[in-house]
Amino acid sequence: MRGAFARPLLLSVALLMVGLAGAQIAFSRLNLAGQQVQSVNLYGAEYASQGVLDRVVRISREGPIIRVEGYGHVLLLPLDEDPQRAATTFNTVQLDTDRVKARTATLLNGNLYLPLDTLARGLGAEYRAGNFRVIPARLQGVSSRAGASSDRLVLDLTRDVSFSDELRGTTVTVTLEDVQGDARRYTTRGAFVPRAQVARDGDDLKLSFTLPPGSGYRVYRVVRAGGSRLVVDAGPGIPYTSPALLERISRPLIVLDPARVPDLGRDVTLDVARRAAELLSQAGWQVRLTRDGQSALGLNQKLALARRSDVYLALDLGRFPGTDRGGVTVYEPTGRATAQIVEAVRSGGKAPYIDLAIGGAGGTRRLSELLRGELKGGGVTAQAETVSRTLTLGEAPQAALLLELGWVGNEDDRADLASAGRLRAMSVAVARSVATYLTARAANAGRTVSGTPADGPQASGAAGAGQ
Amino acid sequence: MKRLFSLFNVVSAALLAAAAYAYTEVQRPPATPEPPRLQLQERQSKPVKVYFSDAQVQTMKPETRSVQVTQDSPSATAQAALRAWANGPQTGGSLPVVPKGSPAPNVWLRGTHVYVDLPESYQRLRYGTSGERMLLCTLTRTLLEVSGQDVTFLVGGKNVATLWHLDLSEPYRAQDCTDQ
């Protein structure tokens, strides 16, 4: 009799439990920044899967911590594999620099789910059940305050955004990424920053102003509920700081790599390199040669020097059995750079001051044009060609060229290379083109170089004196 | 008197006979294997495209050659093509890439990857950059005409960073060796 009641009772309890469990996890629709997607209601909190949220934020897993990046914010959410516990507000999550109690990330069927209310709180978005709205980033206005030792510019934004700042010459540029706003000029009452300009550059807004002599600047953000502010202080009261990269451009390193050519009698590549180095050193430039008459750097030392160089110039002679080819050729490296970081930046990597660390192909082309122009001025006609997969040139982060001084198998070239006048003309062309290129590069970055613009004519003069 | 042909005796006798037969079988010396007949492998002719340098060491000039192979495999064809490459061109206007009498490099194929072992004597050639490019690229283009997607160069059986100037740390592909 007892058994007859027990079975239906157990079945009823099981069905009730299944019903209760089902009630804790239910699928629903979510409007995520204008797109209709699926979300999950988990113990009363709305969660969205990583696949869905990847459309608006960048999510990565670092061990037991989920890192969410987007809209200028970084959120760190511990992963709790128990959904019920994750959906409580007793978890500690990090929203930028604040640690707060909130719901955290969890796994459902092996997929990562994140709580929408915590994300909205950390990212500065608006959230109501079923609707997650990201406020568009917009510059609402620029205000200023004049101070005794510094002026302040305050940029009012609708939400926090990513920004970067650069000082080139005397111009400070603050770039606000993916921000809407009007391009216009602002005037202030300040003595140090009397005017500033906001200009559009693609999707970004750029604020620029002139930094007075003897002044420094700093940029920092103030995030508040309902908006964000970017504060720029500039004036003599702010210490002047400058990135090491900008300092380095004032003292560039020139590396000359003369190849050792056997069976020619005279070491012409070394002759040209030595003479050019002498002219450049006299004008105050820092030059290194990869070998002298007796000893030479090993491959690894040479590559290390190439990586530090601002100009890398390899000097060689053409050698190939049976060819009658002759003449001077300037080779520009093409294709993939062997150094991964150089390749990454040249393929579109962006960061402040990155062009000072790794130059694009434009610098090499400019140096090549200058060198061919100077050679022509010295009565030497040089062809331009490209070469790929060159080891040392591929490691050089800035301008790098290979100058082929002639061909060993060509009678005319051998006669030319025996002439001291021709070697001197080539040395002078190398020295002048490198000095002109580096001086222009430093001027573009708003700096002077050790062979300063004042020394520039001296560099040319020294080169000229050698002729 | 007990029966001579009882079930036990019959079975025992059968087992004894089986054991005796098995013993004679295992003691029998194995049959002497027939030596394989000597068969002369038939050489067959295969057309391959072999690249050499032009007179100005700027472009690569193809030459269609007929090479003799004993096996119709990409590996054998590639090795035969490299022998033709090392022997130099037969038409005017092209230059040999290595001096006459130089050994041909060895080649292996692994899937879509080709491995070339350059003889150590090549290091003594000491070409300029354009000459070195011509050496590596004529080899690359010759081999990729036969089979494979990329060519990795070794020198004397070892991985090296460079022969003289060019980077050998990564394989060469067809796009590394386009004519300038």
Instruction: Give the residue from A312, A303, A334, A337 showing the smallest Cα distance to A257.
Output: A312
Domain holding A157, by residue range, is: 139-241
Asked whether residue A220 falls in the same domain as residue A284, the answer is no
Instruction: Give the residue from A323, A255, A244, A264 showing the smallest Cα distance to A291.
Output: A255
Give 3-state DSSP helix, strand, coil % of chain B, rounded to 5: 35, 25, 40
Of A320, A389, A391, the CB nearest to B127: A320
Give whole-number Cα distances, A299 to A303, A377, A388, A391, in Å. 6, 34, 19, 10
Q: Would you state the pLDDT for residue B117?
A: 95
Asked whether residue A173 falls in the same domain as residue A320, the answer is no
Would the pLDDT of A138 be above 70?
A: yes
Tell me whether strands A253-258 and A311-318 are parallel, antiparallel or unpaired.
parallel
Q: What is the CATH number of the domain that holds A368?
A: 3.40.630.40
Q: Would you state the pLDDT for residue A281?
A: 94
Across residues A355-366, what is the average pLDDT?
A: 82
Would the pLDDT of A462 be above 60?
A: no
The answer to whether the CB atoms of A321 and B95 lie below 8 A apart is yes
Whether the CB-CB separation of B125 and B98 falls below 8 Å is answered with yes
Whether the CB-CB separation of A211 and A170 falls below 8 Å is answered with yes
Asked whether residue A118 falls in the same domain as residue A189, the answer is no
Residue A2 lies in a domain: no
Q: Would you state the pLDDT for residue A4?
A: 58
The two three-digit tokens of residue B145, written as one number: 């005409």
The two three-digit tokens of residue A416, written as one number: 């030319």
Q: What's the mean pLDDT when you consider all of chain A?
A: 85
Q: What is the pLDDT of residues A190-213, one digit of tens each?
A: 889 999 999 998 888 999 999 888
Nearest Cα of chain B lies from the Cα of A378 at a distance, in angstroms, of 24
Percent of chain B with pLDDT over 70: 98
Asked whether residue A375 falls in the same domain as residue A400, the answer is yes
Number of helical H runs and strand E runs in chain B: 3, 7
Residues 236-275 of A with CB under 8 A from B: 259, 261-262
Would the pLDDT of A336 be above 90?
A: no
Binned at pLDDT 50, 70 and 90, residue B1 comes out as low
Of B53, B99, B176, the CB nearest to A389: B176
Which of A185-189, A377-381, A455-459, B20-24 is predicted with the least confidence, judged by mean pLDDT?
A: A455-459
Q: Could you tell me if A423 lies within 8 Å of chain B, comparing CB atoms? A: no
Across residues A234-254, what is the average pLDDT?
A: 83
Q: Would you state the pLDDT for residue A456?
A: 40
Asked whether residue A300 falls in the same domain as residue A405, the answer is yes
What chain B residue is nearest to A407 in terms of C-alpha separation?
B128
Q: What is the CATH number of the domain that holds A206?
A: 2.60.40.3500
What chain A residue is nearest to B164 in terms of C-alpha separation?
A391
Q: Would you state the pLDDT for residue A395?
A: 87
The answer to whether the CB atoms of B165 and A391 lie below 8 A apart is yes
Q: Would you state the pLDDT for residue B145?
A: 92
Nearest Cα of chain B lies from the Cα of A257 at a distance, in angstroms, of 11
Q: Would you state the pLDDT for residue B108?
A: 93
Would the pLDDT of A121 be above 80?
A: yes
The answer to whether the CB atoms of B167 and A394 lie below 8 A apart is yes
What chain A residue is nearest to B124 in terms of C-alpha separation?
A262
Instruction: Give the residue from B106, B27, B87, B97 showing the smallest Cα distance to B57.
Output: B97
The answer to whether the CB atoms of A404 and B55 lie below 8 A apart is no
Nearest Cα of chain B lies from the Cα of A315 at a distance, in angstroms, of 10
Would the pLDDT of A112 be above 70?
A: yes
What chain A residue is nearest to B127 in terms of C-alpha separation?
A319
The answer to whether the CB atoms of B57 and A387 lie below 8 A apart is no
The answer to whether the CB atoms of A320 and B131 lie below 8 A apart is yes
The answer to whether the CB atoms of A391 and B166 lie below 8 A apart is yes
Residue A8 lies in a domain: no
Nearest Cα of chain B lies from the Cα of A339 at a distance, in angstroms, of 11
Q: Could you tell me if B95 lies within 8 Å of chain A, comparing CB atoms? A: yes
Nearest Cα of chain B lies from the Cα of A307 at a distance, in angstroms, of 15
- 3 state DSSP class of A351: coil
Domain boundaries, chain B: 44-177
Across residues A17-23, what is the average pLDDT?
A: 54
Q: Would you state the pLDDT for residue B110?
A: 92
Would the pLDDT of A22 be above 80?
A: no
Residues forming a β-bridge with B67: B46
Across residues A98-116, what is the average pLDDT?
A: 93
Q: What is the pLDDT of residues A262-279, one digit of tens each?
A: 777 789 999 999 999 999
Number of helical H runs and strand E runs in chain A: 14, 27
- 3 state DSSP class of B24: helix
Asked whether residue A168 falls in the same domain as residue A86, the answer is no
Q: What letter does residue B3 receive in the DSSP assignment?
A: -
Percent of chain A with pLDDT over 70: 89
User: Does residue A447 or residue B85 have the better pLDDT?
Assistant: B85
Whether the CB-CB separation of A168 and A206 falls below 8 Å is answered with no
Asked whether residue A267 falls in the same domain as residue A199, the answer is no
Residues 33-52 of B with CB under 8 A from A: none
Across residues A86-108, what is the average pLDDT?
A: 92
Q: Domain count of chain A?
A: 3
Residue A15 lies in a domain: no
The two three-digit tokens of residue A126, written as one number: 């608006």
Of A322, A338, A402, the CB nearest to B95: A322
Residue A4 lies in a domain: no
The answer to whether the CB atoms of A402 and B176 lie below 8 A apart is no
The two three-digit tokens of residue A18, written as one number: 């299944």
The answer to whether the CB atoms of B128 and A322 lie below 8 A apart is no
Q: What is the pLDDT of residues B57-78, one digit of tens each?
A: 999 999 999 998 888 889 999 9
Nearest Cα of chain A lies from the Cα of B157 at a distance, in angstroms, of 20
Asked whether residue A267 falls in the same domain as residue A413, the answer is yes
Q: What's the mean pLDDT when you consider all of chain B?
A: 91
Whether the CB-CB separation of A39 and A116 falls below 8 Å is answered with yes
Asked whether residue A284 falls in the same domain as residue A308, the answer is yes
Asked whether residue A65 falls in the same domain as residue A125, the answer is yes
**Quick one: three-class SS letters along A363-377?**
HHHHHHHHHHHHHHH
Would the pLDDT of A15 be above 70?
A: no
Nearest Cα of chain B lies from the Cα of A97 at a distance, in angstroms, of 44
Across residues A132-143, what is the average pLDDT?
A: 86
Of A259, A318, A335, the CB nearest to B130: A318
The answer to whether the CB atoms of B57 and A320 lie below 8 A apart is yes
Q: What is the pLDDT of residues B87-136, one digit of tens each?
A: 999 988 899 999 988 999 999 999 999 999 999 999 888 898 999 999 99
Asked whether residue A457 falls in the same domain as residue A314, the answer is yes
C-alpha span between B33 and A193 (Å, rounded) = 102
Binned at pLDDT 50, 70 and 90, residue A233 comes out as very high
Rounded to the nearest 10 degrees, how much is the dihedral formed by the CA atoms of A344, A345, A346, A350?
A: 130
Q: Would you state the pLDDT for residue B180?
A: 67
Across residues A74-94, what is the average pLDDT?
A: 93
C-alpha span between A268 and A318 (Å, rounded) = 12
Instruction: Give the residue from B100, B167, B93 showing the smallest Cα distance to B136.
Output: B167
Which of A303, A317, A323 would you mutate first to test chain B, the one with the most B CBs within 10 A? A323
Asked whether residue A228 falls in the same domain as residue A278, the answer is no
Which of A12-16, A163-167, A333-337 is predicted with the least confidence, judged by mean pLDDT?
A: A12-16
Whether the CB-CB separation of A48 and A112 falls below 8 Å is answered with no
User: Does residue A32 or residue B149 have the better pLDDT?
Assistant: B149
Residues forming a β-bridge with B88: none
Q: Would you state the pLDDT for residue A457?
A: 36
Q: Could you tell me if A318 lies within 8 Å of chain B, comparing CB atoms? A: yes
User: Does residue A451 or residue A168 have the better pLDDT?
Assistant: A168
Give whole-number Cα distances, A100 to A62, A103, A224, B173, in Å. 20, 10, 16, 54
Q: Would you state the pLDDT for residue A72?
A: 74
Q: Could you tell me if A383 lies within 8 Å of chain B, comparing CB atoms? A: no
